[in-house]
Amino acid sequence: MAIAITVQNVDASGSTVLVTGTLAFSGNYTTGGDTLDWTTAIEQIAPSGKSIPSVSSPQVVLIASQGGNADSYVAVQGSALNSWKVKCFAAGGTEVSAGAYPAAITGDVVVFLAHFPKLQ
């Protein structure tokens, strides 16, 4: 797996489940985006002791560099929890070339915010 998801916090107090965490990139990037598998996030227990009470894909996903990197990241919705993609762009807006991730991305602190529908 090239993108590892680490869940940091889960807030299920509202009508949706708010999840925050980090993404770590390794291996090779594929043109058009690398796979982001949300099933690995749903299986995790956050440091707060909470898990994500959902079996559906997120409704909203925002990804950003918290490390001050000029690269950018875009979530691409998949048809299932395990078929989302993350497209990576170098500073200036050009998609990262296929092949090994650049050090600027593997060394970046990449955070996400996702809203999941809550189990009823």
Its sign, for the CA torsion 93, 39, 21, 24, is negative
pLDDT at 120 (0 to 100): 67
How far out from the chain centre does Cα 21 lie? 8
Full pLDDT tens readout for the chain, 120 residues: 479 999 999 999 988 999 999 999 999 999 999 999 999 999 999 998 899 999 899 999 999 999 888 899 999 999 999 999 999 999 889 999 999 999 999 999 999 999 999 986
Phi and psi angles of residue 65, each rounded to the nearest 5 degrees, phi first: -85, 125
Distance (Å, whole) CA 102 – CA 120: 42
**Residue 28 belongs to what domain range?**
3-117
Angle at 59 between CA 32 and CA 76, to 5 degrees: 5
CB-based contact 44:51 (threshold 8 Å): yes
Distance (Å, whole) CA 29 – CA 48: 32
Give me the number of domains the chain comprises.
1
pLDDT in tens, 71-89: 999 999 999 999 999 999 9
